[in-house]
Amino acid sequence: MTERFLSLGALLLLVAVTVGCFNSATMQQMQEASQAYSMSPSFKLDRNWRIAILPPHNGDDEVPGLYDHAGLLLMKPGCFTLIDRAEVELILREQRSGGPRLVDPHDMRRLGRLMNAAAVMTISVTELKHDDFFKDNPEQRDARLFVKIISVKTAEALYYAEGRGTSFEGADAALDDALAMTLGPLIRVARG
């Protein structure tokens, strides 16, 4: 009987130690390690970065809601200054009138210089679909997107991240979740 109580006591002690090892900071570190993102050592967040967010795309369609959400998230840590969307769209319209949409990093670099930006951010939606498993919920959507921040000075990718989101409240909510996932590590680093 005494052995049984000792075994139970040892088991409870082991559980308490294990639970203590997995505090919220440890859980956050584990989540960050599983997120798909990379940040260049050149991307020093101890200074202010003037960034132009290019209109997000899902194939050939623009997704304007993501632009607003990205701006809101980037403004939180205080080390990013955003170029006004109207200015970005004006310069893009002028550039498009002379040819195809800008896709090359060097073209984005040139565009960033036109806007006096230190970096250009692109948001590319690669997946937005309904999971057939949830056929009774037509609003369910899974989203996947990539965010890239490119230096205007060097054309170097400063930050590159993938995010996924799922929502039962429609495509916009799934895209917002995916965007928050992609920018989350950058915002945490910027906040220190």
DSSP string computed for 103-159 = -SHHHHHHHHHHTT-SEEEEEEEEEEE--GGGTT-TT-EEEEEEEEEEETTT--EEE
Lookup: tokens for 38: 């990379």
- Compute the chain's Rg from CA coordinates: 22
User: What distance in Å separates the CA atoms of residue 64 and residue 155, rounded to the nearest whole number?
Assistant: 25
Single-letter residue type at 5: F
Which of 45-54, 55-64, 125-134, 178-187 is predicted with the least confidence, judged by mean pLDDT? 55-64
Confidence band (pLDDT; 50, 70, 90) for 62? confident
- CA distances for 46 relative to 125, 152, 189, angstroms: 30, 18, 10
Confidence band (pLDDT; 50, 70, 90) for 10? low
- Is residue 163's pLDDT more than 90? yes
pTM of structure: 0.75
**What is the mean predicted confidence (pLDDT) over 101-126?**
75
Q: Which residues pair with 147 in a beta bridge?
A: 123, 161
Is 35 strand, coil or helix? coil
> Tokens 């369910």 label which residue?
140
Q: Are 44 and 192 in contact (CB under 8 A)?
A: no
Q: What is the total residue count of the chain?
A: 192
Burial degree of 49 (CB within 10 A; 0-12, 13-18, 19+): buried
**What is the mean predicted confidence (pLDDT) over 45-54?**
89
φ, ψ for residue 48 (rounded to 5)?
-85, 135
In tens, the pLDDT along 79-91 reads 899 887 777 777 6
Higher pLDDT: 57 or 125? It is 125
